[in-house]
Amino acid sequence: MSDRACVSGAEIQAYRSFLEALILARSGEVASELAIDPEPPWLNDLVIPDSVMEKAESVGAVLLGSQWARLDPLRRFALIKLSRSNHENANFRLALEEFGLV
C-alpha cells in the first residue's frame, strides 16, 4: 500500500473510501465505522490520565505534569496504552525510562 495524504477533508474522505473498498474486496464485508474521540487524552498535555498516574505509582515512579507536557502525543499515547488494565503492562517502566521520565 502506498502512502496517502490524510489531512484535508477531501483527503480524509478519499482515504476512507479507499479503506472501505479495500476491506470489502479482501473480506467481502462492509467496514464498520468506529467512534473517534474528538479529544483523545494523549493530545491533552495538561492532564495526566488516572491510569497512567496509577501505573507510574505501582512501578515506584512519580510522573509530573511538566514531564507529561513535554512528551509528544505519540509517547503520551504509548503510556496510556501501556497503563490500561487489559494490557500486560510489562513495558510501562521501560517506556518511562526510554522517555527520560525516571
More confident residue, 2 or 50: 50
- 65 and 89 within one domain: yes
Long-range Cβ pairs for the range 66-69 (8 Å, 24+): 67/101, 69/45
Task: Tell me how many domains the chain contains.
Answer: 2
Position 47, amino acid: V
Mean pLDDT lowest among 23-37, 56-70, 74-88:
74-88
List b or e across 64-85, with b for residues whose CB sees 16 or more CB atoms inside 10 angstroms.
eeebbeebeeebbebbbbbbee
Print the domain residue range for 27: 1-34
Run of H or E including 53: helix 50-58
- 94 and 45 within one domain: yes
pLDDT tens-digit profile of 64-101?
A: 999 999 999 999 999 999 999 776 667 999 999 999 99
Residue carrying C-alpha cell 498535555:
45
- 89 and 53 within one domain: yes
- 87 and 46 within one domain: yes
- 71 and 22 within one domain: no
